[in-house]
Amino acid sequence: MKKTVLAFSRISPAMVERLEAHFDVIVPNPKAGDIAAQFNEALPKAHGLIGAGRPLGRKQLADAALLEVVSSVSVGYDNYDVGYFNERGIMLTNTPDVLTQSTADLAFALIMSSARRVAELDAWTKAGNWKASVGADLFGTDVYGKTLGIVGLGNIGAAVARRGHLGFDMPILYSGNSRKPDLEQELNAQFRSLEQLLAEADFVCLVVPLSDKTRHMIGAAELAQMKKSAILVNISRGPVVDEAALVQALREGTLRGAGLDVYEKEPLAESPLFELGNVVTLPHIGSATAQTRDSMAYRAIDNLTAALLGKRPQDLVNPQTFKG
């Protein structure tokens, strides 16, 4: 008898077909009624879950008696109660590395668009305001040669650093839990404490996972340490930044600007951030290219397939749960 896989976010017909080579597959259908209700009804049958964006823990998985693995189509796994997974012996997999380059591209898009006021001036132009040469009040700031500070020099942070150093001749500063000698040599990256980095960098890019340690690691005190001319870019997780403190700094002009792809609450239908011209806001699209999302989904399928066939998945977050 085949094991059953339940999807908890959209997957393409091609991906369903790939899974059906080994498993029975259930994909909730929005045309058939409430998605959450369909998911909950199918959950007791599921040996494996695949998807992204849904919090899963003790409460949500109480009826998932057969569950062996959750395959997340994401790098971050803060939506999942890993302690509970370990308690139950449920494997958790993610999709690291696959989205590194796409997410780094987006980080640099936020750097460029914030510095050169792209979104603000696009709206200004389309509103019919371009009736004479642009004056100094609409000038942006240079990126080339400016100092780029990266908080969290992992795979994505390193990819952002390479774009800055090799493409824009930017001196690279970084902070984190450990030194990166190889990247220090490759990019002439300089290690700094967080406080030093905030004080020295013209652009500060946040690329850290969400944890108790990183939640609100950038608050009012940290924003006050940054240059008044600096720009903050967040592509990690929204709660890494105290959003209220950021809004205040942007309103008062103690920070030049910000580029955000993530927020404390998502999705974000309304926010005081939307009233500010000196912030670029995107709807959490760090990896949202067709090619990257397909690659992530197929990697997640490979992880799930391995787990349910008794093999160790490539991207196992909690290795103590593997009983092979």
Question: Is 237 one of the annotated active-site residues of the chain?
Answer: yes
Find the Cα–Cα–Cα–Cα dihedral 152, 165, 223, 266, rounded to 10°.
Answer: -60
From the list 18, 192, 237, 256, the catalytic residue is 237
Q: Rounded to the nearest 10 degrees, what angle do helices 290-308 and 100-115 cross at?
A: 150
- Looking at the chain, which runs of residues are DSSP E strands? 4-7, 24-26, 48-51, 69-72, 91-93, 148-151, 172-175, 190-191, 203-206, 231-234, 257-260, 279-281
Q: Is 266 a catalytic residue?
A: yes
Cis-peptide, bond into residue 96, ω within 30° of zero:
no
Is 284 one of the catalytic residues? yes
- Choosing from 251, 266, 275, 312, which is the catalytic residue? 266
Do residues 8 and 35 make contact, with C-beta atoms less than 8 angstroms apart? Answer: no
Percentages helix, strand, coil for the chain, rounded to the nearest 5? 40, 15, 45
Q: Which residues are catalytic?
A: 237, 266, 284
